[in-house]
Amino acid sequence: MPEYDAVVIGAGNGGLTGALTLAKAGRKVLLLERHNVPGGCATSFVRGRFEFEVALHQLSGMGSLERPGPLRSILGELGVLDKVEFVEIENLYRVVWPGEFDITLRAERGAIIDTLQQRFPKEKEAIPKFFDLLYGFSMQMIQGLFFHDPEISKEKYPLYFKYAFTPTQKVLDEFFADPVLKAVLSIYWSYVGVPPRDLPFGDFAIMLFSYIEFKPYHLKGGSQALSNALLDEFLSSGGEARLSCGASKIVTKNGKVTGVTTEHGDTVNTHYVLSNASMLQTYLDLIDPGEVPAGVIERFRSTDISPSAFTIYMGFDCEPGEIGIHETSNFITNTLDMDEAFSKWKTLEQAGVGMLSCYDVADPDFSPAGTCQAAYVTLLYGDPWYTVPPHQYYDAKYRYADEMLKLAEKVFPGLRDHIEEMEVATPMTHLRYLGHIKGAIYGHEQYAKDTPYFMSHKSPIEGLSFAGAWAMSGGFQPTLMSGRSSARAILKSMAKK
Ligand SMILES: Cc1cc2nc3c(=O)[nH]c(=O)nc-3n(C[C@H](O)[C@H](O)[C@H](O)COP(=O)(O)OP(=O)(O)OC[C@H]3O[C@@H](n4cnc5c(N)ncnc54)[C@H](O)[C@@H]3O)c2cc1C
């Protein structure tokens, strides 16, 4: 007899919402997490008097009370909405190339159009037309794809069928001539990790649409507050969690899950495992090679791994205004050649496109009184960091950070003089804390071929399924939502038996 209806491996966003969904449905669930805190990427750490947010720059999908987005509804159903305070960030972002341009966009369609029309008068007519397309396309994508319209067709959703896989750069080129305007509009590519020449317009449009319509949000207490709330609710719903206790083996017999062995050496019986660990780790490290069905490993040869991140966490001895920080989200660039910037993510050379988030602008209580903090991040692939010998790692990491700071100082003069605490995370840091190959933060590459559009994430092993970035796509909203939908599939399967 199984001791647990399900075992969830990993307490990242996907693992937490998956475990909670199962526990709320009355199932007996064990959640195993290797780290000593829940959250995976969605955690914080303390240096000096600062508690640094590891990952969350802008939460998408929340929406307001009056106009709830999909994430607000899900967190409400999971019982954690009133346990965390969500702070709306007024401006979408500031994009600045020191000495070249400096543009801030409000998270509001009309205001964005006005700002861009004033700044780019030659593109005055094209700007609203572009937003008509962006909105028209997004509405068709939501109705046709997300709401699973059984009658989805080219005739009913022409914009969706025409543009879903068109490269974002191509659409921008159709509308605009000014390279600055194109760069400002498409800068979210550096969040997703796919440059505009490859980024499907569908992915770009729905992201920009969602951030404008549902607004970017910050969490009081950082993403750790949400991870803690999810874990607390899981425990109150009867779930059992073991932190600092990873899973070392998924036990299978005749192609079916029968149990899980923990890193502490005990084996528990279950017929269902929901893995928030990477698919590669799950198949290669946690399951006996003889039990992994033929073809499963082969399939990974045609997939790519997403970027990781390089982040400088800074605690300042002053208020944001004193160092000229007036926006929460600041994209800083020194190029308009986004293809080149992207190609540098695969090297140890400075990419020149990053995002500096100062949470204290939207939430003045975030850091101790009279101080503030910022996370300055650029995405990067893990590969080149594997080539750095251990004795050169420290130098390589601080050299890279130094180059990034030189660029940031051009925007925020004197920033370095006010740093009281600083910590730097590389892809190796994320590899260490998350256990994901190459320190990947989004699972597989977010380029269409490796997303659920074309790749089934179902496991051929009966009782095994996945939640989180490796199961769907990366980012807070998708991973929080994926845990819930994977858990629902498990509940359906349980109900059939
Ligand atoms: C620096 C940085 C900035 C980011 N910025 C943003 C942003 O602004 N907006 C956004 O939407 N997204 C952002 N992301 C991405 C987002 O945080 C992630 O995509 C998302 O949180 C991943 O969630 P997940 O469910 O896949 O789990 P993960 O966070 O990957 O966690 C997986 C968990 O599984 C555990 N685990 C692994 N193996 C085992 C095992 N064998 N046994 C037990 N436990 C195990 C790990 O310890 C970990 O806790 C950022 C990420 C980083 C690192």
Q: Tens digit of pLDDT for each residue in 225-252? A: 999 999 999 999 999 999 999 999 999 9
Nearest CA to ligand 1 atom 21: 41
**Per-residue CA distances from 261 to 92, 105, 234, 258, 431 (Å):** 45, 51, 22, 10, 22
How many CB atoms within 10 Å of residue 73?
14
Those residues whose C-beta lies under 8 Å from the C-beta of residue 63, and which sit 6 or more positions away, are: 69, 70, 71, 72, 213, 214, 215
From 41, 43, 203, mutation site for ligand 1 pocket: most ligand atoms within 8 A of C-beta: 41
Asked if pLDDT for residue 87 goes beyond 70, the answer is yes
The ligand 1 atom nearest the CA atom of 482? 25
User: Which among 184, 414, 459 is positioned nearest to 295, based on CA atoms?
Assistant: 459
Q: Tens digit of pLDDT for each residue in 118-138? A: 999 999 999 999 999 999 999
Distance from the CA of 345 to the center of ligand 1, in angstroms?
20
Average pLDDT over residues 189-194: 94
Please report, as a single letter, which amino acid is at residue 21.
T
From 441, 457, 472, mutation site for ligand 1 pocket: most ligand atoms within 8 A of C-beta: 441
Asked if pLDDT for residue 456 goes beyond 70, the answer is no
Q: Tens digit of pLDDT for each residue in 394-438? A: 999 999 999 999 999 999 999 999 999 999 999 999 999 999 999
Percentage of the residues of the chain whose pLDDT score is greater than 70? 99
- List residues near ligand 1 (CB under 6 A): 9-15, 32-35, 40-42, 55-58, 246-247, 276-277, 281, 309, 311, 377, 430, 434-436, 441-442, 468-469, 474-476, 479
Distance from the CA of 479 to the center of ligand 1, in angstroms?
8
Distance from the CA of 154 to the center of ligand 1, in angstroms?
36
Distance from the CA of 75 to the center of ligand 1, in angstroms?
18
Nearest CA to ligand 1 atom 41: 247
Distance from the CA of 309 to the center of ligand 1, in angstroms?
12
From 215, 276, 424, 485, mutation site for ligand 1 pocket: most ligand atoms within 8 A of C-beta: 276
Dig out the tokens for 493 from the structure.
């399967």
Contact 20, 233 (CB under 8 A): yes
The ligand 1 atom nearest the CA atom of 480? 25
CA distance 293 to 121: 60
